[in-house]
């Protein structure tokens, strides 16, 4: 009885206390029902740690691998996502799907990169969204912890997927010298990618490119670290925005490729980068450093090449000490496609992918793409003590942070009904046309041939390998429509003048980027084509000749049977011969180049009355060039690279050291066209720079003002370029270095003052002790319309 009374008393006391403790108890119960990591009101760090603590080793490793070549393991034979197969193949979940828009695993494809598949049509917007939604539903609902997947796509110059807007290739976008334009371009690319369900893109490329033999030069923003940095920052702002969490119309970026990729030995892709630490820090690191220190970048891709005997995917100094230690990078390092395998097959460092995987994760690689090969062995490597649990946890943290910051746990889905409506909109098409126009670089315009006056034309001959067949460059899919030069000129001439077409020259039998074999067109075929073109041009009042390269002749060399680098810079095929025979007719001739590699066009530079470098201009190629040729748009593009006279001049980047290019016995060391060069239909006067003060301290900024005046009769754009030279230093310094630029639009007679601010970082160098410092002395500050025609003043630093 005594015990009963005690129990009753305790029960009454507990009842009396219930109103006080119930809310906490209820909250604990709610948290037990809903794990903290699923609570969007919690901090990202708290959610990550909560989820990480719940994960098994197998579930952790699953977050560090992707799937691409073996997507048949998660798909039906028709290519639909199959939850049952996915659960069987990946019972612990899956971190990433590579290229969900492509049909890998459905039809055998050519050995390619970036989802390249010869003869295989990829998924349209609605089908991609449906596929991704099904995959994410499986991940959220059918795996133990419900962790969503990262869906990555390529987006070098627009989303690489059917129907997506095709903008000018990267080297062309760099020719705009207009970061604001790039921000808009990649804002569209992000929107089109996210509309289909993608949340990460493998872009932008911020490699500094110093060898035009390299087939991937078209993927870059050129040869200058500052220009590449500014264009890269603009691309990131467009893709991802400036803050996190990620907005619903944005995607995470992946900076690539860290680093030295753009100056490979003998110009061949993935060749060793024979670069010292000072050169790395001065020329190749800056675009990566600028990006990860100024914007919330969450993914960086390592490069294939080695630096001083250490491939980037095995380089702990590069990926850990510099990237994370010095720059404070918090995101994930992603492998390039098959790069962990290539530590075995190409670099010959390890006996198998298991050992390669151990070295890669120790060096700082967090995620292996496009599939898990070396990283598939991480579980046994941990159990063998060759990889620590801490290394796994750190890599997984970075992946989970991205997924939480992307809002994927709350809503990883796309709207199938609107995916197509948000793709290639009228606004996107108009932006593609504007980007293409701004990309055009006018190299020559003898006697003011351009712009053409349609009223004076009775018959126009449109001739050349790219007159009707328009290349748009690597990392492209199939746009809804690509406007050729011929189509645009026919539209221009409707009701005004006749347009005759002749191919004139054919470079290769087909130019599919992903096709391994490249077959040059035979001489007999080209002899016939050239004769036909001459006949077509004889009766014309003006000839528009469209020449250049194509996606088969200059491209990423990703396999021994799929090459794309060149031992010559000559214009491919008998194009010079065609030009010679057309010029001999004495007609006004406008030569347009469409290419990815800057060719040594010596003959055209000498003989062509008008010469335009267009690069690859995307889906609005023809319309943009018609706008320029007929004067509706005044070209203002500038070269982001130096154009060599011959392959023997290489390397020929403008920011050379004082002892470089002393002279050749019988040759010229100057480029055919210098970095930053480009003409206009108007004329401009760029004044000498004016300093806010002539003397500053080593920690001070200085304002530099430059006047620019349109001295011509047409409105147009000029790019004011500001260069710096360190006149006296403890280590050798480049003759000049670009530090600021601004593209300015001016009406006839209009004058504007452009104001720049130089910081101590702009005047710094890496000294003998490999420390970044500003050394007292004088600096020559120069301004002009290109890297050669400059006016200067002197700044003293005390």
Q: What is the DSSP string of 333-365?
A: EEPPTTHHHHHHHTS---SSHHHHHHHHHHHT-
- Give the pLDDT confidence of 358-406 residue by residue, as tens digits: 999 999 999 999 999 999 999 999 999 999 999 999 999 999 999 999 9
**Looking at the predicted structure, is the pLDDT value of residue 29 above 80?**
no
Tokens of 25: 């108890």
Categorise residue 352: left if φ over 0, alpha if ψ from -120 to 50, beta otherwise.
Answer: beta
Q: Which of 82, 224, 336, 565 is catalytic?
A: 336
On the 0-12 / 13-18 / 19+ scale of CB atoms within 10 A, 561 is exposed
Torsion of CA 78, 83, 84, 90, to 10 degrees: 110
- Give the pLDDT confidence of 79-92 residue by residue, as tens digits: 999 999 999 999 99
Give 3-state DSSP helix, strand, coil % of the chain, rounded to 5. Answer: 35, 15, 45
Task: Kindly list the distances between the CA atom of residue 321 and the CA atoms of 76, 315, 582, in Å, as whole numbers in the listed order.
Answer: 44, 9, 58
Query: Does the annotation count 72 as an active-site position?
Result: no
* Across 470-495, average pLDDT: 97
Look up residue 571 and give its DSSP letter.
P
Measured distance CA(694)–CA(700) in Å, rounded: 12
Measured distance CA(258)–CA(114) in Å, rounded: 18
**Looking at the predicted structure, is the pLDDT value of residue 114 above 90?**
no
Q: What is the pTM of this model?
A: 0.94
For residue 669, list its beta bridge partners: none
Measured distance CA(170)–CA(188) in Å, rounded: 15
Lowest mean pLDDT among 11-15, 251-255, 329-333: 11-15
Give residue 32's pLDDT band: very low, low, confident or very high (50, 70, 90). Answer: low
Q: Can you give the C-alpha Rg of the chain in angstroms?
A: 29
On the 0-12 / 13-18 / 19+ scale of CB atoms within 10 A, 618 is buried
User: Do strands 589-594 and 542-548 pair parallel, antiparallel, or not at all (unpaired)?
Assistant: parallel
For residue 302, list its beta bridge partners: 258
User: Do strands 716-726 and 777-784 pair parallel, antiparallel, or not at all (unpaired)?
Assistant: antiparallel
User: What percent of the chain has pLDDT above 70?
Assistant: 94
Measured distance CA(639)–CA(359) in Å, rounded: 40
Place of tokens 């995101």: 331
End-to-end CA distance of the chain: 95
Task: Kindly list the distances between the CA atom of residue 62 and the CA atoms of 133, 137, 391, 392, 395, in Å, as whole numbers in the listed order.
Answer: 20, 17, 14, 11, 11
């Amino acid at each position: 009885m005594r015990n009963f009374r005690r129990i009753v008393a305790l029960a009454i006391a507990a009842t009396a206390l219930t109103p006080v403790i119930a809310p906490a108890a209820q909250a604990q119960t709610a948290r037990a029902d809903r794990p903290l990591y699923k609570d969007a009101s919690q901090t990202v760090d708290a959610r990550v740690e909560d989820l990480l603590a719940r994960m098994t080793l197998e579930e952790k490793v699953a977050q560090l691998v992707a799937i691409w070549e073996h997507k048949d393991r998660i798909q039906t034979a028709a290519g639909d996502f199959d939850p049952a197969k996915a659960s069987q193949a990946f019972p612990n979940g899956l971190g990433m799907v590579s290229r969900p828009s492509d049909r890998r695993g459905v039809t055998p494809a050519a050995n390619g990169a970036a989802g390249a598949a010869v003869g295989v049509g990829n998924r349209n917007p609605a089908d991609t969204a449906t596929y991704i939604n099904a995959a994410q539903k499986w991940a959220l609902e059918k795996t133990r912890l419900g962790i969503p997947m990262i869906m990555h796509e390529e987006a070098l110059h627009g989303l690489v997927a059917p129907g997506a807007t095709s903008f000018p290739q990267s080297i062309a976008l760099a020719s705009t010298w207009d970061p604001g334009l790039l921000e808009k371009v990649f804002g569209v690319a992000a929107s089109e990618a996210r509309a289909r369900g993608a949340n990460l893109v493998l872009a932008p490329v911020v490699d500094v490119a110093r060898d035009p033999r390299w087939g991937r030069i078209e993927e870059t923003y050129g040869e200058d670290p500052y220009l590449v940095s500014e264009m890269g920052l603009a691309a990131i702002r467009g893709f991802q925005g400036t803050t996190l969490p990620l907005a619903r119309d944005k995607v995470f970026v992946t900076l690539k490729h860290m680093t030295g990729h753009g100056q490979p030995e003998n110009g061949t892709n993935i060749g060793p980068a024979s670069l010292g630490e000072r050169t790395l820090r001065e020329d190749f690191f800056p675009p990566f450093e600028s990006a990860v220190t100024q914007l919330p970048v969450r993914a960086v891709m390592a490069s294939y090449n080695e630096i001083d005997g250490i491939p980037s995917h095995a380089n702990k100094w590069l990926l850990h000490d510099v990237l994370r230690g010095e720059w404070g990078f918090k995101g994930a390092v992603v492998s390039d496609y098959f790069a962990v395998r290539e530590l075995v097959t190409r670099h010959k460092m390890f006996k198998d992918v298991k050992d390669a995987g151990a070295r890669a994760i120790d060096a700082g690689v967090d995620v292996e793409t496009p599939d898990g090969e070396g990283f598939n062995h991480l579980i046994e490597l941990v159990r063998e003590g060759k990889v620590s649990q801490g290394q796994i946890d750190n890599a997984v943290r970075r992946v989970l942070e991205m997924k939480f910051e992307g809002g994927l746990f709350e809503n990883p889905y796309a709207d199938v009904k609107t995916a197509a409506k948000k793709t290639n909109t009228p606004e996107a098409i108009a932006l593609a046309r504007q980007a293409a126009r701004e990309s055009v670089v006018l190299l020559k315009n003898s006697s003011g041939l351009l712009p053409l006056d349609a009223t004076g034309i009775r018959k126009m001959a449109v001739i050349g390998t790219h007159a009707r067949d328009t290349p748009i460059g690597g990392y492209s899919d199939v746009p809804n429509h690509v406007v050729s030069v011929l189509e645009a000129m026919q539209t221009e001439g409707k009701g005004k003048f006749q347009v005759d077409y002749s191919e004139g020259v054919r470079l290769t039998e087909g130019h599919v980027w992903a096709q391994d074999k490249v077959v040059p067109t035979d001489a007999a075929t080209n002899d016939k084509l050239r004769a036909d073109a001459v006949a077509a041009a004889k009766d014309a009042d003006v000839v528009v000749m469209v020449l250049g390269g194509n996606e088969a002749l200059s491209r990423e060399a990703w396999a021994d049977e799929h090459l794309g680098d060149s031992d010559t810079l000559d214009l491919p095929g008998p194009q010079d011969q065609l030009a010679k025979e057309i010029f001999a007719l004495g007609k006004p001739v406008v030569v347009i180049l469409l290419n990815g590699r800057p060719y040594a066009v010596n003959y055209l530079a000498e003989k062509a009355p008008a010469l335009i470098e267009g690069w690859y201009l995307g889906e609005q190629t023809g319309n943009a060039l018609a706008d320029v040729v007929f004067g509706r748009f005044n070209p203002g593009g500038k070269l982001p690279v130096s154009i060599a006279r011959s392959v023997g001049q290489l390397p020929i980047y403008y920011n050379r050291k004082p002892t470089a290019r002393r002279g050749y016995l019988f040759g010229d060391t100057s480029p055919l066209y210098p970095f930053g060069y480009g003409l206009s239909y108007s004329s401009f006067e760029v004044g000498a720079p004016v300093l806010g003060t002539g003397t500053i301290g080593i920690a001070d900024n200085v304002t530099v003002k430059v006047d620019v005046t349109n001295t011509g009769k047409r409105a147009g754009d000029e790019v004011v370029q500001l260069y710096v030279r360190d006149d006296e230093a403890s280590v050798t310094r480049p003759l000049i270095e670009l530090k600021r630029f601004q593209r300015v639009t001016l009406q006839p007679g209009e004058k504007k003052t452009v104001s720049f601010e130089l910081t101590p970082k702009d005047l710094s160098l890496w000294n003998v002790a490999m420390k970044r410092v500003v050394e007292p002395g004088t600096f020559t500050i120069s301004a002009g319309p290109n890297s050669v025609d400059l006016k200067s003043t002197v700044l003293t630093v005390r």
